[in-house]
């Protein structure tokens, strides 16, 4: 055994001497690398050049999962205005090369422009609206943008996997709880379009103004109140505000302590004026409530700069008889 070990050692010495002879005769450099260096070099060779490299187990996102962005051109000396079909709840900008904000007192108009002249890299922008739509834009600079005023249409997914719309309807908002904003919007619109009067005993009428509750509906933790304002006079009725409050039946004079104000979550077709000899209807969505027998829900309508105010009372027995909405029949 000892003989074999000595022979192996002599062989290694011979090979090392031969390597040194080759290095001396041919001037070929020998690079000494440890295992760590070799691993780093291997990683550099295998490293991809674009974004398909992930750590751990992953699944590739397919195109049918993608929300295709709109292409938008902006410039430094002009403002692009985008009109959305609902109030804007959220805006995110991809870089500081662009600026954006709501246009004045408008809730659904977004103004966008470049904050840097002739920026080269493309950026993006995302917008979420009140009824749960998600819009995304890829933005680049142009000296003269082709489109300065853009109206975004309100439409739904047609169900085809390869034909996703550019506004996804899957966004949920905190104030609506577990209800989809899109379903709330469709219910409001359906109630408004059907225009049924299922409640016939609640309302008020004086000074040529009639304020009615036409229906109470419920779905997934929310109540929908269908109201109507009819102006039979020749003088337009300018709405100051509408207030919902729960008050004690026994108190003749209400105070802030004795009443609870309820704020509508959504209002479909809310108008600020009812013209002479005109009728306007609004559907309000509120949190589902029940009222103790000693309390009542009061809805008040106030005229701006006038005295033709209206109000009516909703009892608890009216609320518990709310018509159930079947979302499969929503049109």
Judge whether 244 and 286 are in contact, CB under 8 Å.
yes
What is the per-residue pLDDT across 207-253, written as a single tens digit (0 to 9) for each? Answer: 999 999 999 999 988 999 999 999 999 999 999 999 999 998 776 55
Q: Residue 317: which H helix or E strand, with range?
A: helix 316-319
DSSP 7-40: HHHHHHHHHHHHHHHHHHHH--------HHHHHH
Residue where the block lists tokens 């059907």: 194
The residues facing 278 across adjacent strands are 231
Q: What is the mean pLDDT of residues 82-88?
A: 90
For the chain, what is the mean pLDDT?
Answer: 81
Output the pLDDT for position 159. 42
What is the per-residue pLDDT across 62-80, written as a single tens digit (0 to 9) for each? Answer: 776 778 889 999 999 999 9
Does the structure show a pLDDT above 70 at 22?
Answer: no
pTM over 0.85: no
Provide the token pair at 235: 């003088």
Q: Can you tell me the distance from the alpha carbon of 69 to that of 163, in angstroms, rounded to the nearest whole number?
A: 13
């Amino acid at each position: 055994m000892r003989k074999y070990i000595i022979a192996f050692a002599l062989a290694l010495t011979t090979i090392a001497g031969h390597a040194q002879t080759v290095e001396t005769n041919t001037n070929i450099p020998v690079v000494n690398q440890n295992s760590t260096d070799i691993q780093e070099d291997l990683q550099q060779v295998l490293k991809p050049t674009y974004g398909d490299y992930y750590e751990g187990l992953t699944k590739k996102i397919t195109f049918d999962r993608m929300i295709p962005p709109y292409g938008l051109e902006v410039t430094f000396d002009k403002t692009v205005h985008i009109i959305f079909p609902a109030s804007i709840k959220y805006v995110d900008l991809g870089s500081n090369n662009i600026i954006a904000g709501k246009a004045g007192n408008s809730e659904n108009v977004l103004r966008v422009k470049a904050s840097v002249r002739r920026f080269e890299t493309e950026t993006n922008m995302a917008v979420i609206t009140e009824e749960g739509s998600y819009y995304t834009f890829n933005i680049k600079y142009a000296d003269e943008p082709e489109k300065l005023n853009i109206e975004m249409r309100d439409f739904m997914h047609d169900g085809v996997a390869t034909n996703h719309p550019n506004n996804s309807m899957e966004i949920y908002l905190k104030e609506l709880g577990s209800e989809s904003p899109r379903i709330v919007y469709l219910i409001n619109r359906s109630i408004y379009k059907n225009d049924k009067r299922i409640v016939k005993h609640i309302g008020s009428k004086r000074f040529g103004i009639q304020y009615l509750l036409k229906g109470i509906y419920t779905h997934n933790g929310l109540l929908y109140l269908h109201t109507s304002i009819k102006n039979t006079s020749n003088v337009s009725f300018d709405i100051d505000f509408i207030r919902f409050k729960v008050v004690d039946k026994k108190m003749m004079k209400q105070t802030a302590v004795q009443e609870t104000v309820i704020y509508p979550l959504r209002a479909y077709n809310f108008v600020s004026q009812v013209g002479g000899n005109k009728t306007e209807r609004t559907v309000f969505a509120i949190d589902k409530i029940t009222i103790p027998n000693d309390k009542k829900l009061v809805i008040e309508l106030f005229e701006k700069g006038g005295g033709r105010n209206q109000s009516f009372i909703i009892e608890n027995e009216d609320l518990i008889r709310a018509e159930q909405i079947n979302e499969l029949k929503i049109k």
